[in-house]
Amino acid sequence: MEDEHIIKKTALARKLGAFVDLSGAELSVLEGLHKQRRTFVAGCDLVRQGQSGQSAYILLSGWACAYKTLVSGQRQIVNFQIPGDFLGLRSVLLKLSDHSVEPVSDIEVTEVLLTDLLTAFTQTPRLATAIFWAVSRDEAMIVEHLVDIGRRNAAERMAHFLLELGARLSLVGMGSKEGYACPLSQYMLADALGLSSIHINRVLRQLREAGMVTFRNGFVAFQDYDQLVEFAEFDPVYLDQTRPLLPLQAAGKVHRTHGLASRPSIWRAHSN
């Protein structure tokens, strides 16, 4: 149990460690943020859209997702959280939470209080910076998700999504270039990617038959990682993981995008 505790702590610390090396003192302040430990069952919301006074959590084990529902009953999954991620952080400052958070599998979390967070910021500036970085990175992932849905077709979208998850999981030691365990159903993928579950199924088959990636029995297996990266135009800069966590051969190629934004805007005009 104590041993397990140490392992859990590593997820967030390891993630933040990718940004700054944290001292022992900073690590113990980080540890101090973890208050009450709680468990939630899959499908039972932690945070509810439209309610006030929600609290934030740090995810220790399992997967969760943030989503919004429309009056029509449709829902859109905004992002998925894996161990080491914050849950519901945005909703603590809004009078009413703008979204819900639901465990995908059974999860363990620790509650984190806004006041503790604010005092920690004044005490340990480097930790504060690291947490700001984590929040910015979360936002960058939502933005990339927006690009996914707005400008990529179903297959590219799926490919990009699976690659991003792989990269994130690798950072906390839960995945590799080979693949990872993934508890998501095709219905969840549909709600996340803005597609119908039927089309999700077809797209997965398409990627499998193309020999790029297989998603079956709760496991994502990359068959041709590099081809998939090229197909999805996956450029992990927005994940801000300096040293390529997956030792990519294609590292040089992957970064070809960087100069692109400095093209004169003529290049973009009237593109659609």
Partner DNA sequence: CGTCGGCTTGAAGACCTTCAAATCAGGTGG
Partner DNA sequence: CCACCTGATTTGAAGGTCTTCAAGCCGACG
Contact positions with DNA (CB under 7 A) in 63-102: none
Site string for its own copies, 164-193 (x = CB under 8 A): -----------------------x--xx-x
Helix axes 24-33, 125-151, angle to 10 degrees: 60
Question: In whole angstroms, what is the distance from residue 64 CA to residue 85 CA?
Answer: 10
Cβ closest to DNA, residue 105 vs residue 129 = 105
Site string for DNA, 105-144 (x = CB under 7 A): ----------------------------------------
Closest distance of CB 5 from its own copies, Å? 29
Question: In whole angstroms, what is the distance from residue 21 CA to residue 111 CA?
Answer: 24
Instruction: Write out the binding residues for DNA, residues 206-265 only, by CB under 7 A.
Output: 216
* Residue 149 sits in the site that holds DNA (CB under 7 A): no
Site string for DNA, 160-199 (x = CB under 7 A): -------------------------xxx------xxxxxx
Note whether 15 and 84 are within 8 A (CB). yes
Torsion of the alpha carbons at 105, 215, 228 and 79, rounded to the nearest 10:
-20
Helix axes 2-17, 125-151, angle to 10 degrees: 70
Helix axes 114-123, 125-151, angle to 10 degrees: 120
Q: Give the helix, strand, coil percentages of the chain, each rounded to 5.
A: 50, 15, 35
Cβ closest to its own copies, residue 147 vs residue 181 = 147
Cβ closest to DNA, residue 185 vs residue 249 = 185
Binding site for DNA (CB under 7 A): 153-155, 185-187, 194-199, 201-202, 204-205, 216, 269-270, 272
